[in-house]
Amino acid sequence: MIKHIFLILAFVLVNVLSVQAQQNRGRKQQKNRTQNKNLRQARGLNEIDSAVYNIEDYFNKKKEEDRLQELIDHAKLLGQQDKVEEVDLNKKFHSGIRKQQGMNPNISLGGDFFIGGSSSDNEHLNSPGDYSYGNNGIFLREIELGLESALDPYTRGKTFISFTEGELAIEEAYIEILNLPLNMNLRLGIINPEFGPFNRYHDHALPQFDRPRALVSYFGNGNFGGPGVAANFLLPTILWADASSMEIATVHGSTPEIFASGSPWLMQGVGHFKNFYDVGKDSFFEFSLNTVIGRNPTGVTLNQNYIATVNSLGLMYKWIPAGRAKYRTFDWKSELFYVTYQGLSGDTSISKGFYTSMQNKLNARWWVSGRVGYNEKLFSPEQSQWDYTLALDFWQSEFVFFRLQYQYNNRLLWQELNEVIPSDHSMTLQICWAMGPHRHEAY
């Protein structure tokens, strides 16, 4: 009995194992069939993708070829249009009228008008002369005509003609030859040579209404200059400067009080050395050493080679904040003078002087400025004067400005026959305008 039961269990176990084996084989075959099916499907998809890619690539190439042909056709059309326009222009402007107009110089016209009042009625102070441009009246100081042009790529020309109530004068008229050997520019004609911060400034461009009294006492109420030649050189940097330059000039100056001018050959030699320093991104500083030397009137009268020299040290600092130059600027200029003059006995007379001028731009239209100066009279250093100046400027535009100036002159001066030149307080209202591209540039 036990034997039969064991055989039955063995048979059942064998059948169960056989069924499981068959099921495993069936699952394995089904898995293989599924994998083969997936592989065939993937292979079919790859073939479809490849076909689609080939079709897209064909159409892209065809599109690029069509676009290229379109650009070629458009370029041919433009070329034909340019030819037609060129023929029309040549036919229309064959006279060259427009080209001739382009050769005209830049023309500018400026006016400098003022009303002056003084606490003194002295005739030397009220009449235009060595002590003032005029007081206790209404005056037209100057009408200035400016002509400027680039003559060719190497040369430019400038001419400035001054009209006053009783005189017509040429302030400057010269050509400037650029980029010569030795880093040189050359000016020939009627020139104002480089000398200190202000000598080349025209009157309308001065930071105050008048020139510093020290300059006036040596050179008069105008610039020092005349017919001559000036050579300006860019030098290798000296004394750690960012730039160094030198100008050497010879001119027939128009200052008969200090330099003889009777003969055209009585020339003065001028030397100017300048060093420029960048002080950060917003400011710079420069100094200049200046000298003018020539025969003086006493030497010519006595037929002697008596000379006079005017020497100066010029200093300048300017602050212009980056991006705000329209609203803020500070400008400081100073000059110290040492003047020698050989007199009748051959002895040398020495006189000294200085000025310092400051300008501060408050906003886009308003400036405030001040100046202090001192000088000793030529030939008579015991005579001297101090000048103190305050000015307020309103720039209506870049073409028109108004200036109100107060000045006090403390004088210890006298003329011949012991005529005393008194001290005085003065007020000046200046109205200055300009037409054309020159506007109110310094020079």
Q: Give dist(CA 412, CA 315) in Å, integer.
A: 27
Instruction: Give strand ranges (E) for 192-282.
Output: 226-235, 243-251, 268-279
Q: What is the pLDDT of residue 14?
A: 56
**Is the per-residue pLDDT at 91 higher than 60?**
no
| Single-letter code of the amino acid located at 432 | C
Phi first, then psi, for residue 403 (nearest 5°) are: -135, 130
**Could you tell me the residue ranges of all domains in the chain?**
1-104, 108-435
Answer whether CATH 3.20.20.70 is correct for domain 108-435.
no
Q: What is the pLDDT at residue 191?
A: 96
pLDDT band of 84, cuts 50, 70, 90? very low
- Which pLDDT does position 254 carry in this prediction? 77
Cβ-contact 211, 221 below 8 angstroms: yes
- Residue 10 has a pLDDT of 59
* Residue-level pLDDT at 171: 92
Residue 6 DSSP class: H
User: What's the rounded Cα separation, in Å, for the pair 253 and 228?
Assistant: 9
115 burial type by CB count under 10 A (0-12 exposed, 13-18 middle, 19+ buried): middle
Closest residue by Cα to residue 219 from 187, 188, 251, 245: 251
Please tell me the predicted confidence (pLDDT) of residue 386.
96
pLDDT at 290 (0 to 100) = 98
Q: In whole angstroms, what is the distance from residue 258 CA to residue 243 CA?
A: 33
Give the pair of three-digit tokens for residue 257. Answer: 């009080």
Q: What is the 8-class DSSP label of residue 347?
A: P
Query: Region 179-193: what's the mean pLDDT?
Result: 95
Across 58-80, average pLDDT: 72
Average pLDDT rounded to a whole number, residues 263-278: 92
Q: How many Å is the maximal CA-CA distance in the chain?
A: 174
Contacts of 45 (CB under 8 A, 6+ apart): none
Between 380 and 81, the higher pLDDT residue: 380
Using alpha carbons, select from 192, 197, 204, 131 the residue that is nearest to residue 357.
197
Specify whether the CB–CB gap between 202 and 172 falls below 8 A.
no
Comparing 144 with 344, which gets the higher pLDDT? Answer: 144
d(CA 275, CA 286): 5
Which neighbouring-strand residues pair with 360?
330, 368
Distance CA(403)–CA(399), nearest Å, equals 14
Residue 236 pLDDT exceeds 90? yes
| Of residues 256 and 374, more confidently modeled | 374
Partner residues linked to 337 by β-bridges: 312, 353
Query: Which helix or strand (DSSP H or E) is residue 28 part of?
Result: helix 2-92
Displacement of CA 336 from its chain's centroid (Å)? 26
What is residue 348's predicted lDDT score, i.e. its pLDDT? Answer: 87
- Out of 2-16, 150-164, 195-209, pick the least confident: 2-16
- For 23-67, write each residue's pLDDT tens digit: 666 666 666 666 666 655 655 556 666 666 677 677 677 777 777
Looking at 89-93, 277-281, 404-408, which range is the least confident one?
Answer: 89-93
CB 403 within 8 Å of CB 389: no
Strands, E assignment, 134-267: 137-152, 155-163, 168-180, 184-191, 226-235, 243-251
Residue 425 has pLDDT above 80, yes or no: yes
List, in order, residues 6 or more apart from 332 with CB less than 8 Å away. Answer: 315, 316, 317, 318, 356, 357, 358, 359
Question: Quick one: pLDDT at residue 1?
Answer: 59
State the first-to-last Cα distance of the chain, in angstroms, to the nearest integer. 140
Q: What percent of the chain has pLDDT over 90?
A: 55
